[in-house]
C-alpha cells in the first residue's frame, strides 16, 4: 500500500458540483406573473381593484395590453362612474362596456334647460318611482276614513329629441285592495313588487 489517499466513491468532481449547484439555484427561482398564459393573467387581474388595475397597466407594455381587456376596462369604468353592475346576466363584457359608455355620453349631452311637461289626470297619494325611462305614480281612492292607495299608474317618458312627436299616455293598474308601497325593477328583473293590506275577519264563539 502506498501512502497516498484514494478519493472515496462518494466524492463529486468540482465541475459536477458547480453544475449541480447551478441547477438547484435555477430551480428555486420563483415563477413570474408574465410566465403564465395571457388568459390566466387576465383572470388574476380581475381580482384587483380598479385603482390597482390602472397602476398595473402602467408598469410595462405587456400588462398595459392585458389591462386593456374589455372586462378590466368595464371594472375601471364602473368605478369612475360610481355605478354598480346591475345588468341582466348573460350580457358580455364588451356589451356591458358599450352600454355604460353610452350612458355616460348621454349624461354629457344632458341639457337641463329643456323640459317635458306631463299632466296627471288622477289623484295620487304621492308614492312614485322612476326606472328604465318609466315614471310610476300611485293612484288614490278617497274614503270616509281617509285616502288610500288602490294601485298605480305609469307613464313612459319620451326622449327630448322626439318629445314633440311622442304621445304620452298614462296606463293604470288597479289592485282592488289597499296598497302600502311598491318598488319596480322593470329594467333589471322585469318585476314590480307591491305591498298590500289583507284583512282577515275573525269570528269568536263560546261554548257553555
DSSP of 94-145 = HHHHHHHHHHHHHHHT--TT--------S---S-EEEETTEEEEEEEE--TT
Q: What is residue 136's predicted lDDT score, i.e. its pLDDT? A: 92
The residue assigned the cell 318629445 is 163
Q: What is residue 139's predicted lDDT score, i.e. its pLDDT? A: 92
What is the rounded average pLDDT of the residues 127-140? 88
Q: What is residue 48's predicted lDDT score, i.e. its pLDDT? A: 92
Q: Given a cut of 50, is residue 1 above it in pLDDT?
A: no
Q: Given a cut of 90, is residue 57 above it in pLDDT?
A: yes
What is the rounded average pLDDT of the residues 118-135? 88
4-34 pLDDT, tens digit each = 544 444 454 555 544 555 555 555 678 888 8
Instruction: Please name the residues in contact with 83: beta carbons below 8 A apart, sequence gap of 6 or more.
Output: 100
Question: pTM to 2 decimals?
Answer: 0.45
Q: What is the enclosing helix (H) or strand (E) of 52?
A: helix 50-56
Residue 161 — φ and ψ, nearest 5°? Answer: -70, -35
Q: What is residue 26's predicted lDDT score, i.e. its pLDDT? A: 55
102-126 pLDDT, tens digit each = 888 888 877 676 777 888 999 999 8
Of 162, 91, 150, 157, the C-alpha closest to 125 is 150
Q: What is residue 161's predicted lDDT score, i.e. its pLDDT? A: 65
Q: What is residue 208's predicted lDDT score, i.e. its pLDDT? A: 44
C-alpha 76/C-alpha 51 separation (Å) is 8
Residue 39 — φ and ψ, nearest 5°? Answer: -65, -30
Task: Supply 155's cell numbers.
Answer: 307613464
Burial of residue 184 (CB within 10 Å: 0-12, 13-18, 19+) is buried
Write 27-34 long-range contacts (CB < 8 A, 24+). Answer: 34/62, 34/63
- Which domains occur in the chain, in start order? 33-108 (1.20.1280), 128-196 (no CATH)
Q: Given a cut of 90, is residue 83 above it in pLDDT?
A: no
Q: Find out whether 184 and 134 touch, Cβ atoms under 8 Å.
A: yes
Amino acid at each position: 500500500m502506498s501512502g497516498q489517499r484514494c478519493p472515496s466513491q462518494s466524492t463529486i468532481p468540482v465541475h459536477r458540483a458547480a453544475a449541480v449547484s447551478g441547477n438547484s439555484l435555477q430551480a428555486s427561482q420563483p415563477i413570474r406573473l408574465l410566465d403564465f398564459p395571457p388568459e390566466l393573467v387576465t383572470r388574476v387581474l380581475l381580482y384587483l381593484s380598479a385603482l390597482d388595475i390602472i397602476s398595473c397597466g402602467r408598469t410595462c407594455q405587456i400588462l398595459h395590453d392585458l389591462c386593456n381587456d374589455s372586462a378590466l376596462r368595464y371594472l375601471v369604468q364602473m368605478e369612475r362612474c360610481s355605478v354598480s353592475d346591475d345588468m341582466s346576466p348573460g350580457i358580455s363584457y364588451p356589451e356591458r362596456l358599450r352600454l355604460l359608455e353610452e350612458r355616460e355620453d348621454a349624461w354629457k349631452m344632458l341639457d337641463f334647460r329643456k323640459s317635458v311637461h306631463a299632466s296627471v289626470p288622477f289623484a295620487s297619494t304621492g308614492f312614485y318611482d322612476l326606472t328604465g325611462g318609466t315614471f310610476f305614480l300611485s293612484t288614490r281612492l278617497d274614503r270616509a276614513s281617509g285616502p288610500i292607495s288602490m294601485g298605480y299608474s305609469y307613464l313612459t317618458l319620451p326622449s327630448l329629441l322626439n318629445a314633440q312627436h311622442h304621445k304620452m299616455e298614462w296606463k293604470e293598474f288597479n289592485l282592488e285592495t289597499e296598497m302600502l308601497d311598491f318598488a319596480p325593477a322593470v329594467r333589471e328583473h322585469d318585476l314590480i313588487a307591491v305591498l298590500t293590506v289583507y284583512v282577515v275577519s275573525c269570528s269568536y264563539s263560546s261554548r257553555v
